[in-house]
Amino acid sequence: MSLTAGLWLALGLGLGGVCGGWLTARRLLPRIRRLEEGSERIAQLDTARKQFIATASHELRTPIFSLGGFVELLEDDDLDPATRRRFLGHVSEQLERLRKLSVDLLDLSRLEAGALELRPEEVDLGELTRSVAAEFEPALAARDARLELHLRRHMEIVCDPVRVAQILRILIDNALGHTAAGTRILVSTGRSEGRVHVAVHDDGAGIPTEQLNRIFEPFYTGDAVHGSGLGLAIASELAERMHGHLTVASEPGSTTFELVLED
């Protein structure tokens, strides 16, 4: 081989190598990007998980400390019966708060882990709504509120009645608890375009626009009423788990949450 031919060959091989390397790098680049994005997502999830545990522990700590305080006060033998009764009332309030919180936390973590089992069966949505609404009679009377039902007949659907009832309870509880006394609550059912919906409407003060996209986040509470902020997070996760969704529309004097499910 002459010197010139050798040089050309070396140059060719060199260029080939560079091109080959460049092509391989081009092919690998998207994969590396995906890996990078994946690890960023994992890091974000890890931060979210840590945040969740920190907030949950804080929420649990508050009633436990409060219970400890009341138990200490109750140990005093000289307490008069009225004060003792008042303290015992606080104890049972805190116990109820702990019970609700532990059930809610368990539900939410099961939902997020995809481990919540649904038991679908044929259900009359009207009947189910009526029976959930009836549970609220004492709470309605205590808040001087009214609940009206506008139910369509023959609303048989296949769904898990326990979980649909749970969503309705969360929505009615909010319509009652996050509004002033004397509120009017309207619960209605409807069917359109292959979907069924249950709406819970109230004529309370409404939810400020800037809060509307946060109310479904776990632990988000928008007002001074004492709740853990888990209700709507659970309700929307449950709705999605049932291939449905939860919507909200609110303005001063009117708030409507709607559960939409496949017919």
What are the residues whose beta carbons fall under 8 Å from the beta carbon of 243, sequence distance 6 or more?
261, 262
> Within positions 196 to 255, which residues make up the interface with Mg ion, using CB under 5 A?
227, 231
Instruction: State the Cα–Cα distance between residues 255 and 201, nearest whole angstrom.
Output: 6
Q: Choosing among Mg ion, ligand ATP, none, which partner's interface includes residue 207 (Cβ < 5 to 8 Å by kind)?
A: ligand ATP
* 126 belongs to the binding site for ligand ATP (CB under 6 A): no
* 97 belongs to the binding site for ligand ATP (CB under 6 A): no
Minimum gap (Å) between residue 128 Cβ and ligand ATP: 20
Q: Which helix (H) or strand (E) holds 121?
A: strand 121-124
Instruction: State the Cα–Cα distance between residues 209 and 252, nearest whole angstrom.
Output: 10
- Applying CB under 6 A, which of residues 107, 178, 199, 258 lies at the interface with ligand ATP? 178
* 183 belongs to the binding site for ligand ATP (CB under 6 A): no
* 227 belongs to the binding site for ligand ATP (CB under 6 A): yes
Instruction: State the Cα–Cα distance between residues 170 and 64, nearest whole angstrom.
Output: 24
Cβ pair 145, 183 in contact under 8 A: yes
User: Closest CB to ligand ATP among 76 and 223?
Assistant: 223
Show the tokens assigned to 223: 């007002």
Footprint on this chain of ligand ATP (rule: CB under 6 A):
170, 174-175, 178-179, 202, 204, 207, 215, 220-223, 227-233, 255
